[in-house]
Structure 1
């Protein structure tokens, strides 16, 4: 997830605490910076045959491989990953596992008013199934289902939290739950979100799939896919894989099919993690670590307490680089980390002097409708899902079942959904994509400051387009 809080214009003054607070941090995702990270599986080589080939070793691919053998225990399944399992978005997010399949109720009701209630129910069932999977396979990933606290930090945001509805918290009540002088109101949704260590969840899913017979290969970058006879032939740098069916789970990275390439743009999200808090520091915040928090603006911070008592603090800047660029050069953006550190200091001044040990970024597959899209190719032998827009930790499991349903060719409750059947409008080519995204980011920032949507945002609303993360 990514958005923003109330934050400042560049000319506002802050005390000296945040300056240099991340200078000694390592440029590495907290979740992946551990000696417990599994050794990579060997690369695929030679000629490989499979009933199902899954391309991609993030959540979407791992859930697809596991669900495939759970649904059909006799199936021969191979998964290939071009890098390391959980190396990219899966191991770089904030670890919010949400029930929402639609990027929140407002987006869902606006786009699919007739089926939103069903989508909401399916999302809750999906989160229940994730929790059950973690328990059944004994995956040690810090899964804790405490819900999400949405907080208002500007006066005009208070009304967005529905003060007349149950669950609304005034300033005193929200600060009794988590203490920040910036909080004006809040709303706790206790059932729809879990916090999790995403890398350990991914490694646990990989182990579970392997135990059920899935063959996993890392460092196996796919270079081509074409229909061949009754199946699909996929080539990596070292192997030829002939599969009856294929799932493409590469998300933001270059899709082997042309059509999905225009459906998403890569947006960089940036994250800081503090040193571990003392018991006294955590107690001063009055923060239950099972509860994740997000601001209520268009552009927002998301933050949570990790299992080792750090605060993970991300969001605010959603950075798009011209030409849909994905590059290691974009990973370390000092100006964004400085903003994150200043905003953290404003939110939790009682933690004055705390330092950040980790900083990192990840690339989000952003779609114009803010949630996943689905499709098939090679006459129904290949399926794909992409465009999760920051909510893939939970929605990827639902997407796995959708893709397997599509490959089976049978009408199911999932494949009959308008959300699954209808494709969103694509992003335009450059320079229009870059210009449109920059205009949208500026407009969203202005709305956060003023509470008013300008003409550009109203036009996007009418067209059913948008930009978020």
Structure 2
């Protein structure tokens, strides 16, 4: 049995930072009708409602949420609004054109500025800082991957104003990470406090006329009808915006697997320690290890560091309100000390985990079935803060039967195949991460200047 634990007992540090987990809105009062019913009140559902009501304020929109708005990944993530294109371009090219993939990538990048614009326009205080994202290379193989990513981005017409490759001296001057060989820089990203953003967006959507029903468990989604434990919502258009929780819906266990990600947050650092580390630009921070990690410098001068931990629970299991394992906390603390040894000895004030939705081809999708009127979006694989905004705008156009530049993008109406039944998906995901850890150790030990073949094998096993 897993040893689940939690420091400070909140769903995430971000809610502790706001004074605690919020109270609940009223549940669905019984049967009712609406023009649009959205299942899930996280970023995807809320952005969809926002843009839908901006275009058609006369529509009746109901959002159904099992817990509270922002309970899932929207209120637990690392606070990266990056606009990063984290998916395989070739998989979109197979069903579209090169021009379409380039346009999709441009829209993904533009979502960052759109999130910033809306928060300012609507008066949402989410500790947003516009900054850069630095992905550090600390081995010869990692530096090779950084150069390959940079070349690929330019080949796919990423603007040089958006992406830059810097050498060891400049990278170290920004954040003092041992062994740095260089870094890939994404400009035009933003650091956010995600719980503040999602809760603020929920309040805005309510003011616009949407009805958010919390404490309401959806038990079935069918054409024109969403059945819950509190009543039935009849609606000609329905959006499934459940992302990492999709596997909990009947018949959807193999559509998106819930991949676990965990975070730790340190005590506030002293000014002297920050002077020793650098990191004065509040940049988003990652590295080119296969066992992915991500970090931010918070508003009050803490470090939030995240990574995969226990990557997947058998049978597409979901965590218990953010509780994570002691072993995961120790692993993340080790990653933090490896990247920033100056932090050794710092107290951890919080740790938690959550799930993100992963499709079988690891590529995001959004769409609407015209026959059933049921739409969906998800599969962000870690870049949902920005991409969910693009989902909301795209789904709003689809719901309003608009043919726009967004609805023509090659991620729209894709249907990835389902994941394998157990135990094969558990074996595949855990095998992939075991191989990633082995590849990282081999590369760190001087295993050549190219990516370890073990990582390539892991990608082939899971289609990553």
**Shorter-chain-normalised TM-score: which range?**
0.7 to 0.9
**Structure 2 residue corresponding to 1:390, chosen from 370, 382, 390:** 382
Do structure 1's residue 94 and structure 2's residue 78 form an aligned pair? Answer: yes
Residue range with higher mean Cα deviation, 259-268 or 62-71:
259-268
The one of 305, 315, 333 aligned to 1:323? 315
Greater Cα offset, 447-456 or 178-187: 447-456
Alignment-derived partner of residue 400 in structure 1: 392
- Measured after TM superposition, the shift of residue 37 of structure 1 is 5.3
Structure 1 CA distance, aligned partners of 2:458 and 2:80?
A: 31
* Structure-2 residue corresponding to 1:108: 89
State the shift of 1:360 in Å.
0.4
Query: Does 1:136 pair with 2:121?
Result: yes
Secondary structure, aligned partner of 2:180: coil
| CA separation of 1:24 and 1:234: change in aligned 2, threshold 3 A | closer
Provide closer, same or farther for how the CA distance between residues 172 and 357 of structure 1 changes in structure 2, counting only shifts above 3 A.
same
Q: Tell me if the contact between 1:263 and 1:387 (Cα under 8 Å) persists in the aligned partners.
A: no
Shift of residue 256, structure 1, vs aligned partner: 8.2
1:283 to 235, 257, 275: 275
1:30 aligns with 2:13: yes
Residue 51 (structure 1) aligned to one of 35, 42, 61: 35
Identify unmatched segments of 5+ residues in structure 2.
152-159, 444-449
CA contact (8 A) 1:61 1:79 kept: yes
After the TM superposition, which residues 198-209 of structure 1 pair with which residues of structure 2 at under 5 Å, given as runs? Answer: 198-209=194-205
CA spacing shift, 1:241–1:316, aligned 2, 3 Å: closer
Question: Which of 191, 194, 212 is the matching residue for 2:190?
Answer: 194
Aligned residue number for residue 161 of structure 1: 146
* Residues 1:63 and 2:47 aligned together: yes
Aligned to 1:222: 218
Q: Which residue is 2:154 aligned to?
A: none
Aligned residue for 2:395, secondary structure, equals helix
Q: Is the 8 A contact 1:385 1:399 kept in 2?
A: yes
The 2-side partners of 1:460 and 1:255 are apart by 23
Contact 1:443 1:457 in 2 (8 A): no
Is contact 2:436–2:454 with CA below 8 Å preserved after alignment? no
Q: Matched residue pairs, number?
A: 435
> Would you say the 8 A contact 1:85–1:218 is kept in 2?
yes
Match of residue 145 from structure 1: 130
Greater mean deviation of Cα atoms: 352-361 or 244-253: 244-253
Instruction: Tell me what 1:74 maps to.
Output: 58
Instruction: Give the TM-score of the pair, scaled to structure 1.
Output: 0.85
Structural RMSD (CA): 2.6
Distance in 2 of aligned mates of 1:412 and 1:454: 42
- 8 Å contact 1:374–1:423 — kept in the other structure? no
Bigger shift: 70-79 or 160-169?
A: 160-169
What is residue 8 of structure 1 aligned with on the other side?
none
Mapped to 1, the partners of 2:358 and 2:27 lie a distance apart of 30
Contact kept? 1:38, 1:203, Cα under 8 Å? no
Relative distance call for 1:88 and 1:154 in structure 2 (3 A) is: same
**2: distance between equivalents of 1:365 and 1:25?**
25
